[in-house]
Amino acid sequence: MEVTLRRSVASIARNRGIAWAAAALPCAVASSNSRRFSILNRPPPNYPGHVPLTRLERAGLMIGSGLMSLRDPRRGDLIAAFAEATATPYFIYRLRDAMLSSPTGRRILHDRPRITSTFLNLPYLRSLPLNTVGRTYIEWLDREGVSPDTRSAVRYIDDEECAYVMQRYRECHDFYHALTGLPIVREGEVALKAFEFANTLLPMTGLSVFAAATLKKSERRRFASIYLPWAVRNGLRASEVINVYWEEELERDVEDLRRQLGVEPPPDLRAIRKAEREERKRQKAAASSV
């Protein structure tokens, strides 16, 4: 079958150009292989940790992980699986193409850097001057009590390069938090997911915005009036944040990077929440003293 396909593509090459045929050949062979793909005849993995899925398995993963992650938004493994199941066949390729269209994005794809404590010198980041990207990032990690080593490995995206793109997006998430100042409380996560959806178009980020329905009434009102408009405005106008080579920006002034990307930090959510708590305590104390 593959021999026949290759001969057909060779004929196309003579009529329409070698470049077009070269691009068509992997798709044609993949289509041939996909017809033989079944649960009982699973192809070998394309990279370490890869789990090839049939269309039925992918649909089951998407529905199951999506419902369970809405029920328990703290299950990072379910959110990661849902992101991978919904990223293909279009959205992760769009993000990969956005990287290929950028000189910096192409370098990232070539170098394949990782954002973990193994590759980032965290003590060095703490030694950087205030307001640098690296210092802002590490202070956000310390304040929120999180680590760069908690991101799940990509497993369910078939294309090896696209799998790296998803891994890169996943590991850059905390840099987006630091850049915007949004905390990891549910309200902050929903706001950041709305920003990411406007910027990356990954379906998981858009569907995560529906978690706003689980917020308290005052939080939903604040999200609708402040953070959702901020997320849409900044996500759409900002440069593709997937193309930031964070490892090369650590010593740069964070405000300078924000201006270059077109990202305006939203109102300080932690400060707003703290002020509300203090006001509630004051009102409670006043009521009890009457």
User: What DSSP character marks residue 132?
Assistant: B
pLDDT at position 290 is 66
DSSP 8-state code for residue 7: H
Backbone angles phi, psi at 185, to 5 degrees: -60, 160
pLDDT, greater one: 260 or 64 = 260
Q: Summarize the confidence of residues 195-220 as an average pLDDT.
A: 91
Per-domain residue ranges of the chain = 2-36, 55-280
50: annotated binding-site residue? Answer: no
Confidence of residue 255 (pLDDT cuts 50, 70, 90): very high
pLDDT of 69 higher than 50 = yes
Quick check: 116 and 150 in contact, CB under 8 A?
no
Please give the Cα distance from 177 to 174 (Å, whole number).
5
Q: Has residue 214 got a pLDDT over 80?
A: yes
- What pTM value is reported for the model? 0.81
Q: Is 110 annotated as contributing to ligand binding?
A: no
- The band of 37, judged by pLDDT with boundaries at 50, 70 and 90, is low
What single DSSP character describes residue 224? I
pLDDT for 115 beyond 60: yes
Stretch 168-184: mean pLDDT, rounded?
95
What is the C-alpha separation between 170 and 151, in angstroms, rounded? 7
pLDDT at 66: 79
Residue 192: the pLDDT is 95
Residues in the chain: 290
Per-residue pLDDT tens for 92-106? 999 999 999 999 999
Write down the pLDDT at residue 200. 95
> What's the pLDDT at 26?
43
Count of C-beta atoms within a 10 Å radius of residue 277: 10
**Average pLDDT rounded to a whole number, residues 56-77:** 79
Q: Which residue in 163, 162, 27, 172 sits closest to 98, CA to CA? A: 162
pLDDT digits 0-9 by tens, 16-35? 443 333 344 444 444 444 44
pLDDT of residue 230: 97
